[in-house]
Amino acid sequence: MTTARTHLIVEAGVRYWEDSTVNGKEDTDGSLIPFRRGNDWCPVIELATGHVKDWPQGTPAEIHYKVCDDGAYWLADSTGKKLAKWKGYYVPNDLLCVGDNGYGDYIIFNVAADGSIIGWQTPAIKDAEWVVCE
């Protein structure tokens, strides 16, 4: 793959919104979290920095979402063009569980007020785990 894969696009069907907090408040119905679309949570994460693109400044969040085989994940370039799709049915644990283990069923990480994922380390992308988009 010659185009730079710089972002992770997430479209995760969240089963339980109430397991997370936004601005220190329990998000009982998912109305507080940025990037909710219907029953999906759809952030875009910069792979090199762990910054959530367009995150509203001053909005810390503790994310703990049960997804259970209801998500799609893409590697994209800086323009948002999808380059490769995650092969698995489960959450890519190495990318979306920072400092914890989600066992393929959870997205777990904390977002600082500036939109950066706390403890993020640039992930090693294993090409065999992704299908190149046409």
Q: Which two tokens stand for residue 101?
A: 């283990």
Pairing of the two strands 36-37 and 82-86: unpaired
Closest CA to 86 of 41, 48, 133, 44: 133
Residues 6+ apart with CB under 8 A from 89: 69
| Alpha-carbon gap, residue 58 to 61, rounded angstroms | 10
Going residue by residue through the chain (134 aa), what tens digit of pLDDT does each one get?
457 999 999 999 999 999 999 999 999 999 999 999 999 999 999 999 999 999 999 999 999 999 978 999 999 999 999 999 999 889 999 999 998 888 889 999 999 999 999 999 999 999 999 999 97
Domain ranges across the chain:
7-132
Residue 95 exposure: Cα atoms within 13 Å on the Cβ side: 27
